[in-house]
Amino acid sequence: MWARIWAIALNTFREAVRNKVLAILVLFAVALMAFSLVLGQLSLHEEVRIIKDLGLAGISLFGVVIALFLGVNLLSKELDRKTVYAIIPKPLHRWEFLLGKYLGLVVTMTALVVLMSLVLAAFLAVQGGGHGVTMVRAEVLIWLELLLLMAVAMLFSSFSSPWLS
């Protein structure tokens, strides 16, 4: 059972990573963090605070956009390409299919949040600020928020069209 779920999750992860829109959104998030270096120079002795605030805001903002984009388009792409019709007759329950899809999105979102957090930590190191426990807690809470948002997006995409979701 878990082998089937993880096979679907791995396939979902590969499909999400190949998405060009995802790469563009991650580049925008990194550009926002790089712009925070410039804005930090304009503030009076608050460079590290500006970088932390804009970095976390960038992770959250672009994470929400990515979570909604992936969660809404995931099932509709399967139905449009009719690949779900080849999977459903297999000895696979619907809940296994949906759980595999969600776990693939969880792995994708985890990789993206870790990547953006590492970029933020690098920018903080350049500026001389620390990436302490508080920052890690904030990033974990942002990650949990994004996982919940993806679950809700998948819920609505399961019974409505992508335009209504």
- Indicate the angle between helix axes 47-80 and 20-42, nearest 10 degrees: 170
Half-sphere exposure of 87 (CA within 13 A, CB side): 21
Residue 161: its pLDDT value, please? 66
Instruction: State the Rg of the chain over Cα.
Output: 18
Q: Tell whether 59 is covered by a domain.
A: yes
| pLDDT above 90: residue 151 | yes
Measured distance CA(97)–CA(35) in Å, rounded: 41
Question: Do 28 and 64 touch, CB atoms closer than 8 A?
Answer: no
Split at pLDDT 50, 70, 90, the class of 130 is confident
Measured distance CA(83)–CA(70) in Å, rounded: 17
Residue 133: its pLDDT value, please? 92
Measured distance CA(135)–CA(88) in Å, rounded: 43
Q: What are phi and psi of 61, to 5 degrees?
A: -65, -55
Q: Tell whether 164 is covered by a domain.
A: no
Q: What are phi and psi of 15, to 5 degrees?
A: -65, -40
Indicate the number of domains in the chain.
Answer: 1
Query: Quick one: tokens of 32?
Result: 């926002």
Q: How confident is the model over 7-33, as pLDDT tens digits? A: 889 988 998 888 888 889 888 888 888
Query: Quick one: tokens of 150?
Result: 């993806």
Write down the pTM of the prediction: 0.86
Q: Tell whether 15 is covered by a domain.
A: yes
Split at pLDDT 50, 70, 90, the class of 127 is confident
Q: How confident is the model over 48-104, as pLDDT tens digits? A: 888 899 999 999 999 999 999 888 887 777 777 777 777 777 788 888 888 999 999
Q: Tell whether 143 is covered by a domain.
A: yes
Q: Closest Cα to residue 58, out of 145, 132, 14, 117?
A: 117
Residue 15 belongs to domain spanning: 2-159
Q: Tell whether 165 is covered by a domain.
A: no
